[in-house]
Amino acid sequence: MNRFDRVTSILLLLQTRSVVTAQYLSEYFDVSDRTIYRDIRTLETAGVPIGSEAGVGYFLEKSYHLPPVSFTLDEAASLLLGEKLLVSSLDADSLKDFKQALNKIKAVVDRQGKDYLSSFDTDVEVLPTSSHFPIDEFNQNSSIECDPERTQKKTQESSDRWLRECRDALVHRKVIEIDYAAFSSQKQTKRCLEPIGLFYYSWHWHLVAWCRLRCAYRDFRLDRIMSFVTQAEQFPRHSRITLQQYVNEKSGHDELQEVELLFTPDAARYVQEQRYMFGFLDEETLPDGVKMRFLTHLPEYMARWLLQYTDGVRVIKGDSIRKELQKLSAQLAAHWRD
């Protein structure tokens, strides 16, 4: 962020809070306290009446008010993404309030911006679950991370990238070129894509696109995209299916399979948050345990997770998971037998 944008953002933060400390501002903008002091002096020189109290923080004098705030298209589009994620994370009343606030923001955007947001809205889907906060980075670092504040910050940040670039490519129907590191092989391949939408599930954003290399629709997890280059070429919208059509057909597709598992009551107690990493949909308590439904695109990855529950889990639906468990169990038995 350049200095002008940072100083403007500081002024906005001062208006949204009764008191703001220099430490909070330095952490928020990831700059030094000295930089914040200089920015505050810049605002004061420009005539902004900023009060301060030692040991308390900075505040705007009550007589000062900013003119009506306008929103950039990027800000409005980011809020639209937030709305998608909050659908199954908020109660009905809070979600209604959020939607109403977002509608007010859309109302002050110009006509071209309204068309942009409307187009983008149809290109985004979120798989409903009861939680949407990424924990991959936390799990990978939990054994070595000893600073609670840093750990908390990491759990709140997504490792996904390219959301803004994907958004523009989707709205303008631009062809993109990426370098992609597939999970199964860990090899990078260059792909030329015609994107149709963003799909959020299993704790990550996925770009759904027609892959010219494979001549088929493919699902690309954003955190595995190593490079992203938007091309000048455009493709006609009507030449590809919509994201909604893709999602409706996906449950029967070999890349995203529905799995039903029955956990014993004892095993179910240990599943907890881990299940959200594997496309958890819902659960049902039965007399002999807890039945859980998942959508997964990596049967081997999920099978390795399930091995830890030994005889505490049973596959009700999902032949690929069952085969992977049988194969891994045989390998494990052979390993320990030797």
226 in the same domain as 139:
yes
Give the Cα separation of 291 and 284 in Å (integer). Answer: 5
Residues with Cβ < 8 Å from 131, sequence gap 6 or more?
89, 273, 276
Q: Of 227, 250, 273, which residue sits at a domain end?
A: 250
Q: Is residue 153 part of a domain?
A: yes
Tally the domains of the chain: 4
Please write down the HEC assignment for all residues of the chain: CCHHHHHHHHHHHHHHCCCECHHHHHHHHCCCHHHHHHHHHHHHHCCCCEEEECCCEEEECCCCCCCCCCCCHHHHHHHHHHHHHHCCCCCHHHHHHHHHHHHHHHHCCCHHHHHHHHHHHCCEEECCCCCCCCCHHHHHHCCCCCCHHHHHHHHCCCCCCCHHHHHHHHHCCEEEEEEEECCCCCCEEEEEEEEEEEEEECCEEEEEEEECCCCEEEEEEHHHEEEEEEEEEECCHHHCCCHHHHHHHHCCCCCCEEEEEEECHHHHHHHHHHHHHHCEEEEEEECCEEEEEEEECCHHHHHHHHHHHHHHEEEEECHHHHHHHHHHHHHHHHHHHC
Q: Can you list the residues of the chain whose pLDDT is less than 70?
A: 65-69, 88, 128-159, 183-186, 250-255
**What's the pTM?**
0.62
33 domain residue, yes or no: yes
Among 201, 221, 250, identify where a domain stops. Answer: 250
Domain assignment of residue 83, given as a range: 73-121
| Domain contains 154 | yes
- Are the C-beta atoms of residues 199 and 247 closer than 8 Å to each other? yes
Whether residues 134 and 48 fall in one domain: no
Query: Do 235 and 151 share a domain, yes or no?
Result: yes
Residue 67 lies in a domain: no
Of 237, 242, 193, 232, nearest in space to 215 by CA? 193
Domain boundary among 190, 223, 250: 250
Same domain, 272 and 222: no
pLDDT digits (tens, 9 = 90+) for 139-192: 333 333 344 444 444 444 556 789 999 999 999 999 999 999 976 666 889 999
Beta-carbon count within 10 A of 143 CB? 7
Termini Cα distance of the chain: 58
Q: In the Cβ-directed half-sphere of 285, how many Cα atoms lie within 13 Å?
A: 3
CA angle 20, 22, 27 (to 5 degrees): 100
Q: What is the pLDDT of residues 13-35, one digit of tens each?
A: 887 778 889 999 999 899 999 99
Q: Are residues 108 and 169 in the same domain?
A: no
Does residue 235 share a domain with residue 204?
yes
